Structure 1
Amino acid sequence: MQTIENRPAEPNVRFRQLQDRLRDSTASDDRLDLDDRDILVIPSLSLDREQLRKVSGFIHYEERLLFSLIRLRNPHTRLIYVTALPLSPLIIDYYLQLLPGIPFSHARDRLLLFSTYDASVKPLTQKILERPRLVERLRKALRPGKSHMVCFNASPLEQELSLALDIPLLAACPDLLYWGSKSGSRELFAEVEIPHPVGSLSVWTVDELVKEAVALRSRQPDLRRMAIKLNEGFSGEGNAVLDLKDLSADASLEAIETAVRANLQHLSLQAADETWESFSRRIPELGAIVEAFVEGEEKRSPSVQGYISPDGRVKILSTHDQILGGPDGQIYLGCRFPADNAYRLRLQDMGLEIGKALAAKGAMERYGVDFIAVRSPEKDGQWDLQAIEINLRKGGTTHPFMALKLLTNGNYDAANGLLYSQQGQAKYYIATDNLQKPQYRGLLPSDLMDIITCHHLHFDSSTMTGTVFHLIGALSEFGKLGLTSIGNTIEEAVSLYQRAESVLDAETQTGIDPSESSSSPTLPITWLGSE
């Protein structure tokens, strides 16, 4: 698995020629929905393996892009979807029956499913490349000149598959991965003058990390904590917090260095079962940054998502408030749409500037930017926004928003950051990939469908409210499920989410050891925001 280099490399000429086919043949991303095309979906999490091992049931995250089946609403589109393990027909049927106005059988005839039958930790794209006969079957299934590939994230593996199939990849060129790293994000924020925490670019040794931490603390004597992040961390799993609260404001450089080295042994590591030894071992391989930890009594984690068309135009897709957990609130658990009205439009403005800078570097397709928002008493309760990182991939907010678009056929209004259904009703949702409890283990997809039906948890197309489920394949083995609850107000969305969780809890209590059972809410929803 290749890692991000310190700076972007020269692009692969043939790969860029393939991508130019998209730029030449489409005026905007909307044309890709209208054209007669074959779309190859590769939902591979082509990320650092050690980081992926920390995500329970990560192989089933390949199901998150099943909302790409929305493309089948075009009666001329064919979709080819590849997974590591075969998908249950019941799961496929569940998604196809959500398609508005399309006969189930017509959509199913235009969907081709392939599997590598390989459950190893290797990225799905690598598994495909290791099976030349599967590659050849994919090549034969795709119509020349009318096909392109989409993915969860674009790595050198996806570039290799694109070249092997001779079809363009609708994603940022892997040579641009640097700009989606922690260090590259900080560099781009500085370039476009977006506020972000004070800190360093990449360091590659513990000694370099200590040096940067000492310099940061000497510049900010009141700094109480620092965030240390691996360059390729995923969902906050590669983050750690260095505590310097006991260090006096007038400490000497020698005292600061002594404290930093001592406290590195007791980092607050966000990933479960992580140790300083295992964390520090990854620094020479992945690189790391150190930056000021943003403090605040009232703090949130909003994000903005955008789209760069093949022709370089940029538009904002959505904003969210992320719901975080973990020891220091850095692990992604879920999200609510849209972000709070108090800062939603500012998020859009900054996200647009960042998108334009990415487009100028040659990036295309989806990107996201995470922020920290802190309410400032000195500014009459206004929210200060600081950018944290750029994601050049689909993320945890992508599939819930795709679900909303699929189910409502709605339109996003950038003037106020709301999405409206065809009937003009603003829509809201709460979503998670992390509804996980021991008592859910053993539930089959058919059991979940029974529960959904008996308790009327499904999405109601007449009111365009209700809950849709994903990560269904992870339920039986891991007791883990994803869901998106859609309402006409954020309060209704929260209520629908909580009802779905309560029903699942009630249906799975019998015969469970009370010490393993949990009835506490999975998402720490302590605020609803404002409109």
Structure 2
Amino acid sequence: MQGVDNSSKQAEQFRLLQAQLRDRWQGVDLFDSDDYDILVIPSVSLDQRELLKIQGFLNYEERLLFSLIRLRHPRTRLIYVTSQPLPPIVIDYYLQLLPGIPFSHARDRLLLFSTYDSSAKPLTQKILERPRLMERMRQALRPEKSYMICYNSTLLERDLAVQMGIPLLALDPDLLTWGTKSGSRKIFAECGVPHPDGSDSVWNAEDLGVAAAELWERQPQLKRMVVKLNEGFSGEGNALLDLRPIKNVAPGEASHAERVAAISDRFSSLSFQAKAETWENFSSRIPELGAIVEAFIEGEHKRSPSVQGRIDPNGEVEILSTHDQILGGPDGQIYLGCNFPADEVYRLRLQELGLRVGRNLAKKGALERFGVDFIACHHPEKSGEKWDIQAIEINLRKGGTTHPFMTLKFLTNGRYDSSTGLFYSQQGRPKYYVATDNLQKERYVGLLPNDLMDIIAHQRLHFDTSTETGTVFHLMGCLSEFGKLGLTSIGDSLQQAEEIYNKVVKVLDEETKTRPSASYSASYPSPPIAWSGKS
């Protein structure tokens, strides 16, 4: 009973802190203004067993380093905490991107802390286990002018915000259910957003078999279904169930019980997106995370666009960006990268659907970032609207599309125009980019951040603040061990952004050509063509 009381008390303290955001909020860009202390907690507070499927996941704490560009405001101070110390050369790289700010001035306003703990626990948990570290962080902050940002908000982040005594600019963890697979489906249904037929959450393999049979009975034409862990992410918790080998028990051919039995037998043959995943391991997670089944959208001409938005503390919803996502993996469901913006043939439609979702979330009390992933299928034979847009899931966290867009915004100080779906620099030039977290090749293993900096400088691959084009690199901590790197290539057209991206890959391949080469199934594919709306 004492634990329940403490939890309620903490939740109330958290809500009081969050109310400070509404009291201070005067416009959507207040927290991009001067004279604030920003505590950045880049903890990837997701299911750790699922995270272990991602190579170099600990280095994903580097994805929020774009926040350092906020130091372009001469009175902003920033505290950045990581599990292991960041290489000084990586910090210097970001600070050198700041236009018009002396390097030393920005460096003096940046404090770096580390837990010196590389264990497979969320960073926020590591911080909470170190009260002396928290006290040093607390002493560095001005409570009345401080707020905390994170990658995703859980009870851990809520606990840390309460203990630090500063508001968290993120979702209340009590609302996390709306970012699960089943929660997303409920939101889509409530606000009339098209989405595939599917099930509610189930909590064991037996009920999953029943849910799959019922879905097949509602949709007899189905060839495949997607089985999803309710709290999976980046496609890592997805598997594909092929119904064609058991067409003898299709609706009309067998009884419901026979169909359930046949589908249950097929679970051991699921096609998993994550490497080395097995049905035994996958099914063991269902009682903990829940699972759903969903109709697989067939089609020869499919894309995976997304829309990103923000809900401010006053409940106003703003669309920030749209992207065409690049997916890979065995069945094309693993997030690898993105193009900005999404194709003009549907990006305004994405904005409209995103606003519906955002306003629904705002009514439920959601705050800050949200994203909605879609599947877009081209049907050239149809008259009128030739793109069928189906919503797949909601992300209530900073995702793979967040850091490239915010990097562009902070570097150019430009604006997103919702009437066109384009982003314009202060000079009025539309800007485009290709971004990835997954440029990964065996031949890159062993490259140190210092080596990468040498290559960037010698080959002039860096971002040029005068032209506002070039490449910004991230995830440099993954490079030596995993041969993995993230980058955002920015251009004045999508074609130019792709050319810049191609040049980076070509240069890195040339610089490592003496190393033994091996293809990686997770490697980012060749940059996609600049879509014109024609399939």
1:133 match = 132
Residue among 250, 253, 262 paired with 1:251: 253
What is the CA distance between 1:29 and its match in structure 2?
A: 3.0
Residue among 266, 281, 284 paired with 2:269: 266
Give 3-state SS (helix, strand or coil) of 2:227's partner: strand
2:509 match = 505
Whether the aligned pair in 2 keeps the contact of 1:474 and 1:481 (CA below 8 Å) is yes
Aligned partners of 1:71 and 1:251: how far apart in 2?
Answer: 62
1:38 and 2:41 correspond: no
Q: 1:11 to 1:259 in 2, by over 3 A?
A: farther
1:95 and 2:97 correspond: no
1:481 and 2:485 correspond: yes
Whether the aligned pair in 1 keeps the contact of 2:216 and 2:251 (CA below 8 Å) is no
What is the CA distance between 1:44 and its match in structure 2?
A: 0.2
1:71 match = 70
Letter in 2 for 1:243: D
1:118 match = 117
Give the alignment of 1:371-386 within 5 angstroms: 371-380=374-383, 382-386=386-390
1:494 match = 498
1:327 and 2:330 correspond: yes
Give 3-state SS (helix, strand or coil) of 2:201's partner: coil
Letter in 1 for 2:217: S
Between 122-131 and 368-377, report the one with greater CA deviation. 368-377
**Cα deviation code 1:20-47 (max 9, x no counterpart):** 0011111223112224211100000000
Give the alignment of 1:259-408 within 5 angstroms: 259-380=262-383, 382-408=386-412
Whether the aligned pair in 2 keeps the contact of 1:438 and 1:517 (CA below 8 Å) is yes
Letter in 2 for 1:290: V
Q: 1:195 to 1:76 in 2, by over 3 A?
A: same
Aligned partners of 1:14 and 1:231: how far apart in 2?
Answer: 29
Give the alignment of 1:211-250 within 5 angstroms: 211-246=210-245, 247=247, 248=250, 250=252
Moved over 4 A (4+): 517-521
Q: 1:520 to 1:366 in 2, by over 3 A?
A: closer
Aligned partners of 1:287 and 1:358: how far apart in 2?
Answer: 22
Aligned partners of 1:496 and 1:519: how far apart in 2?
Answer: 23
Percentage of pairs with the same residue:
64
Letter in 2 for 1:277: E
Give the alignment of 1:382-461 within 5 angstroms: 382-461=386-465
Letter in 2 for 1:186: R
Whether the aligned pair in 2 keeps the contact of 1:154 and 1:172 (CA below 8 Å) is yes
Aligned partners of 2:213 and 2:340: how far apart in 1?
Answer: 39
What is the CA distance between 1:518 and its match in structure 2?
A: 6.9
Letter in 2 for 1:492: Q
2:3 match = none
**Cα deviation code 1:251-310 (max 9, x no counterpart):** 222342232112111001000010000000000010011110111110000000001111
Aligned partners of 2:203 and 2:170: how far apart in 1?
Answer: 28
Letter in 2 for 1:339: A
Whether the aligned pair in 2 keeps the contact of 1:10 and 1:175 (CA below 8 Å) is no
Give 3-state SS (helix, strand or coil) of 1:79's partner: strand
Whether the aligned pair in 1 keeps the contact of 2:437 and 2:487 (CA below 8 Å) is yes
Aligned partners of 1:29 and 1:60: how far apart in 2?
Answer: 30
Q: 1:322 to 1:517 in 2, by over 3 A?
A: closer
What is the CA distance between 1:378 and its match in structure 2?
A: 4.3
Aligned partners of 1:195 and 1:11: how far apart in 2?
Answer: 38
Q: 1:474 to 1:521 in 2, by over 3 A?
A: closer
Residue segments in structure 2 that go unaligned for 5+ positions in a row: 1-7
Whether the aligned pair in 1 keeps the contact of 2:209 and 2:261 (CA below 8 Å) is no
Give 3-state SS (helix, strand or coil) of 1:265's partner: helix
Whether the aligned pair in 2 keeps the contact of 1:33 and 1:71 (CA below 8 Å) is yes
Aligned partners of 1:426 and 1:250: how far apart in 2?
Answer: 55
Aligned partners of 1:518 and 1:501: how far apart in 2?
Answer: 14
What is the CA distance between 1:383 and its match in structure 2?
A: 0.6
Aligned partners of 2:511 and 2:382: how far apart in 1?
Answer: 49
What is the CA distance between 1:100 and its match in structure 2?
A: 1.5
Aligned partners of 2:520 and 2:34: how far apart in 1?
Answer: 48
What is the CA distance between 1:172 and its match in structure 2?
A: 0.5
Q: 1:517 to 1:55 in 2, by over 3 A?
A: closer
Whether the aligned pair in 1 keeps the contact of 2:337 and 2:524 (CA below 8 Å) is no
What is the CA distance between 1:192 and its match in structure 2?
A: 0.6
Whether the aligned pair in 2 keeps the contact of 1:226 and 1:292 (CA below 8 Å) is yes
Give 3-state SS (helix, strand or coil) of 1:210's partner: helix
Aligned partners of 1:62 and 1:321: how far apart in 2?
Answer: 24
**Cα deviation code 1:147-170 (max 9, x no counterpart):** 110000000000000111111100
Between 334-343 and 30-39, report the one with greater CA deviation. 30-39
Q: 1:369 to 1:11 in 2, by over 3 A?
A: farther
Letter in 2 for 1:413: D
Whether the aligned pair in 2 keeps the contact of 1:204 and 1:283 (CA below 8 Å) is yes
Aligned partners of 2:386 and 2:52: how far apart in 1?
Answer: 40
What is the CA distance between 1:240 and its match in structure 2?
A: 0.4
Aligned partners of 1:131 and 1:319: how far apart in 2?
Answer: 39
What is the CA distance between 1:250 and its match in structure 2?
A: 2.9
What is the CA distance between 1:528 and its match in structure 2?
A: 2.1
Letter in 1 for 2:143: P
Whether the aligned pair in 2 keeps the contact of 1:18 and 1:167 (CA below 8 Å) is yes
Aligned partners of 1:110 and 1:29: how far apart in 2?
Answer: 24
Give 3-state SS (helix, strand or coil) of 1:12's partner: helix
Aligned partners of 1:144 and 1:513: how far apart in 2?
Answer: 53
